[in-house]
Amino acid sequence: MSILEWIQGLGWRAAIVILVPLVAGVIAYAVVADEPTEHRAVATVNTPASPAVNLTPQVANQAVANLRALVSSGAFAAVVADDTGLPPKQVQSSLVSSRIGAGMLVEISSTMLDAQEAIEVAAAAGHRSVQLVLSTELGAAQAAEDLALETFNQSNDAVKEATELYGADPTVQLDLARSALGQAQAARARAVASGATSTELRKLEGEIEVLEAQIAELVPIAADFEVLTRSRDAAELQVAKTRSDTQAIEAVIAAADASVVEPIEASAISNRVPVARKVATVVALAGVLALAVVLVLELVWPRTDTKPNEQATLEHSGTTGDVVPSPIQGDS
């Protein structure tokens, strides 16, 4: 017996196979077709990359991946939720990011029932994404700048204390003492050449001895002071470098933030395909369920509308396995 013959022989039970999926489909359509229309708003951003590295394809891919991972995170949704006044879970479920081609452009979309909310969330997400994607690099640069500034302040304070202790810059005092010593030695040489008295020569020699003693005392002090000034100068250069690094990252972020293309309007999303898919799924499941019910009825409550002679023939054929020949026309 073929499947078609079996279905034709179902009788009133065939109505179950037909009506159950039909009724289920009508009910499903009535339920899902009434669902409100969603709206989608899209912001386009140019992914910022750290200025500390060369922008290779690998770097670009990683930068885009970092931005998309950020957009999908709960922490990011919480920030956007604070900006828009919407629940974080609603914001997170509405956000989707996609890369445009192989470049640095990324679309960030928000899908919501309210068109204005979708626009606000997409716009806020666009700006926040480029502001926060380099937050780790920016934080590290700022920390390095703060450390360099602290080191400079300590070095500068040490130089100030030494200057106050010695009354002036020891290196300057040493230079002045050496200059005075040179002048005193030149004066003694001229005095000797001009036949100066011994008293005059002893006076000049005394001045030279004082200057030499002063220089001997200043040399180690000036050396220590020079170490302090060199440390201060190096710290000052490090402050300038770290500040430049921080400003470079801030400039990249500011440029990316300024280039964000905010959504002007939100487009309504057609629900025809989702509705058709849902209804088709319900109809298919209802059809399977209807067939299962009919099969159960066939087993529990067999049909009794088969003719007696056909039933006997079927039973005999089923028990013996013999084929019952049909009578030959014309035999007497």
State the average pLDDT for the chain. 83
Q: What is the pLDDT of residue 34?
A: 57
Least confident interval from 193-197, 291-295, 318-322: 318-322
The answer for 321, left when phi > 0, alpha when psi is -120 to 50, beta otherwise, is left
> Which residues pair with residue 107 across a beta bridge?
44, 98
Query: Residue 2 — very low, low, confident or very high, per pLDDT cuts 50/70/90?
Result: low
d(CA 187, CA 171): 24
Q: 20 or 179: whose pLDDT is higher?
A: 179
Q: 105 or 294: whose pLDDT is higher?
A: 105
In sequence order, the 6+-apart residues with CB closer than 8 A to the CB of 181 are 208, 211, 212, 215
d(CA 173, CA 162): 13
Q: What is the pLDDT of residues 117-167, one digit of tens each?
A: 999 999 999 999 999 999 999 999 999 999 999 999 999 999 999 888 888
Residue 261 DSSP one-character state: B
d(CA 50, CA 63): 8
Q: What is the pLDDT of residue 291?
A: 72
d(CA 165, CA 235): 22
Report the predicted TM-score, pTM, of the whole model to 2 decimal places: 0.64
Helices (H), the chain: 3-8, 14-32, 57-71, 74-84, 88-94, 115-132, 135-166, 170-193, 198-258, 272-300, 308-320
d(CA 106, CA 71): 11
β-sheet with 267-269: strand ranges across = 95-99, 105-112, 38-46, 267-269
Q: What is the pLDDT of residues 287-304, one digit of tens each?
A: 778 777 777 776 776 666
Least confident interval from 7-16, 65-74, 186-195: 7-16
Q: What is the pLDDT of residues 251-290, one digit of tens each?
A: 999 999 999 999 999 998 765 556 667 778 877 887 778 7
Neighbours of 90 (CB within 10 A): 17
Contact 91, 101 (CB under 8 A): no
Contact 175, 226 (CB under 8 A): no
Q: What is the pLDDT of residue 187?
A: 84
Instruction: With a cut of 90, say whether residue 30 has pLDDT above it.
Output: no
276-288: buried (b, 16+ CB within 10 Å) or exposed (e) per residue? eebbeebbeebbe
Q: What is the pLDDT of residue 307?
A: 46
